[in-house]
């Protein structure tokens, strides 16, 4: 990224080395850039005034040439199961949302605290079951805007549960691999020991299955987990509900090759996300086809109980059908987990709040 001494630079979009270059461009030693990094990503500073270990003159300069873009929480809903969903306004005025999902033990303690973050406003992928897909693509988020969602939810987790967040999933609004550079940059910020210091193994990037980008991620290897939103086990079924599958570059044949490349290159397994829809993809034959897909490479399946979105015409698979489906998968040797819908008494499906706001 080019650092120009004359423009008001958004410091929240810069890496540590870029902040060092920025400090030097303004006559400061490089370590001032590192101090800036610590304030922005380790202490969550939102003003230059609070950066008390920086010289006053430098803080005044920063006020003229730089800015700290932050997201603003405009609505916070909490469900009875303690899932919390935040609606945030970006500097552009557009809205995104993120969710804090606590995994509560019987004694009331939070075992895991997962944050689901957005990477784009809206989404170009147009999956027919998704509220965000209705919005179309509007903008990419900066690394700082992704970081801020986690920072906000981490603060909320500390307040409500007395412990920091433990996991991050890029499963909110948008297709993360279409905002590739900023997503990778945000992972750098989140895992930096002077930022939130999270382990990459606790971060999952979820993609609709963009084959070329999956290979790029394998090569860049940020050491995070990869989840692929499969949702249907054959090309015909998948193309019907996920337009991305209609292109040869991103159909199941391309996906298979990319996933094999990914698992061979990184040595990590892949998780297939499979949202269950009544009568669409939840039959016993579908389970058999899904088991074939799982056989492509080391992988497991996460079945998701759908949170219905009004007007889209999909409904959640009944429990009995879910059990038949699981039985078939397990008989075929597939590792399966089930994700129950959380926060059902709030607008918990991806994009619902922001769609309403839009
Ligand atoms: S499910 Fe994900 S990829 Fe598909 S439209 Fe929604 S946000 Fe985009």
Q: Which two tokens stand for residue 112?
A: 């895991």
- Rounded distance between C-alpha atoms, residue 183 and residue 220, angstroms: 12
Q: What is the DSSP string of 166-223?
A: -EEEE-SSS-GGGGHHHHHHHHHHHH-TTTT---GGGEEEEES--HHHHHHHHHH--S
The mean per-residue pLDDT over the stretch 229-258 comes to 96
The mean per-residue pLDDT over the stretch 147-172 comes to 96
Collapsing DSSP states into helix, strand and coil, what is residue 297? coil
9-67 matches 72-357 in fold = no
- Rounded distance between C-alpha atoms, residue 99 and residue 87, angstroms: 9
Bridge-partner residues for 342, per DSSP? none
Residue 207 — pLDDT band, cuts 50, 70, 90?
very high
φ, ψ of residue 63 to 5 degrees: the values are: -60, -25
* Cβ-based neighbours of 56, under 8 Å, separated by 6 or more: none
Q: For residue range 135-153, list pLDDT tens digits in order.
A: 899 999 999 999 999 999 9
CATH placement of domain 9-67: 1.10.150.530
Q: For residue range 109-125, list pLDDT tens digits in order.
A: 888 999 999 999 999 99
**What's the CATH architecture for 72-357?**
Alpha-Beta Barrel (3.20)
Query: 47-56, 247-256, 339-348: which has the minimum mean pLDDT?
Result: 339-348
Give the pLDDT confidence score for residue 31 in this predicted structure.
97
Q: How many CB atoms lie within 10 A of CB 320?
A: 8
Q: Contact 281/231 with Cβ under 8 angstroms?
A: yes
Residue the block writes with tokens 């959380």: 342
Ligand 1 pocket test target in 174, 178, 245 with most atoms within 8 Å of CB? 174
| Strands of 72-78's sheet in order across | 72-78, 84-89, 95-104, 110-116, 167-170, 203-207, 225-229, 270-276, 299-305, 336-339
**Please, what's the b/e burial string for 189-228 (b: 16 or more CB within 10 A of its CB; e: otherwise)?**
bbbbeebbebebebbbbbbbbbbebbbebbeeeeebbbbb
User: Would you please indicate which residues are annotated as catalytic (active-site) residues?
Assistant: 97, 350
Give the pLDDT confidence score for residue 356 in this predicted structure.
52
Q: How many CA atoms lie within 13 A of 137 on its CB side?
A: 12
The mean per-residue pLDDT over the stretch 186-195 comes to 94
Residue the block writes with tokens 């060092």: 20
- Counting from 1 in the atom list of ligand 1, the atom nearest the Cα of 129 is 1
* Cβ-based neighbours of 165, under 8 Å, separated by 6 or more: 100, 113, 114, 115, 150, 153, 154, 157, 198
- Rounded distance between C-alpha atoms, residue 182 and residue 171, angstroms: 15
Model pTM score: 0.92
Give the pLDDT confidence score for residue 128 in this predicted structure.
92
- For residue 2, pLDDT over 50 is answered with no
Ligand 1 surroundings by CB, under 6 angstroms = 123, 125-127, 130, 132-133, 173-175, 208, 350
- Rounded distance between C-alpha atoms, residue 173 and residue 137, angstroms: 10
Q: Contact 310/61 with Cβ under 8 angstroms?
A: no
Mean pLDDT of the chain: 92
Give the pLDDT confidence score for residue 131 in this predicted structure.
84
The mean per-residue pLDDT over the stretch 159-182 comes to 96
The mean per-residue pLDDT over the stretch 181-185 comes to 96
Domain spans in the chain, listed from the N-terminal domain onward: 9-67, 72-357
Give the pLDDT confidence score for residue 340 in this predicted structure.
80
Give the pLDDT confidence score for residue 354 in this predicted structure.
56
Q: Whose alpha carbon is nearest atom 4 of ligand 1? A: 127
Q: How many CB atoms lie within 10 A of CB 47?
A: 12
- Ligand 1 centroid vs 8 CA: distance in angstroms? 33
């Amino acid at each position: 990224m080019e650092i120009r001494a004359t423009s008001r630079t958004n410091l929240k979009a810069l890496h540590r080395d870029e902040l060092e270059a920025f400090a030097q461009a303004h006559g400061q030693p490089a370590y001032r850039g590192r101090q800036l990094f610590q304030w922005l990503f380790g202490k969550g500073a939102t003003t230059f005034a609070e950066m008390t270990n920086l010289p006053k003159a430098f803080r005044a300069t920063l006020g003229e040439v730089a800015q700290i873009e932050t997201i603003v929480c405009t609505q916070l809903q909490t469900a009875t199961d303690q899932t919390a969903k935040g609606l945030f306004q970006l500097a552009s005025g557009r809205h995104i949302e993120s969710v804090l999902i606590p995994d509560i033990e019987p004694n009331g303690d939070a075992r895991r605290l997962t944050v689901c973050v957005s990477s784009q406003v809206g989404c170009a992928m147009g999956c027919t079951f998704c509220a965000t897909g209705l919005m179309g693509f509007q903008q990419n988020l900066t690394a700082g805007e992704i970081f801020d969602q986690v920072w906000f939810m981490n603060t909320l987790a500390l307040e409500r549960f007395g412990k920091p967040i433990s996991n991050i999933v890029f499963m909110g609004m948008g297709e993360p691999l279409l905002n590739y550079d900023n997503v990778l940059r945000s992972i750098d910020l989140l895992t930096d020991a002077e930022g939130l210091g999270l382990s990459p193994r606790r971060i999952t990037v979820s993609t609709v299955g963009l084959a070329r980008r999956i290979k790029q991620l394998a090569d860049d290897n940020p050491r995070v987990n990869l989840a692929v939103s499969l949702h249907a086990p054959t090309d015909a079924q998948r193309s019907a509900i996920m337009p991305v599958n209609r292109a040869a570059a991103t159909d199941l044949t391309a996906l298979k090759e990319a996933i094999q490349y990914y698992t061979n290159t990184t040595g990590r397994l892949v998780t297939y996300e499979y949202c269950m829809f009544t009568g669409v993809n939840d039959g016993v034959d579908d389970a058999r086809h899904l088991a074939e897909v799982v056989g492509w490479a080391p992988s497991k399946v996460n079945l998701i109980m759908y949170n219905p979105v009004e007007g889209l015409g999909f409904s959640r698979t009944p429990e009995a059908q879910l059990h038949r489906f699981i039985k078939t998968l397990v008989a075929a040797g597939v590792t399966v987990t089930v994700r129950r819908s959380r926060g059902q008494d709030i607008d918990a499906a991806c994009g619902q709040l922001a769609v309403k706001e839009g």
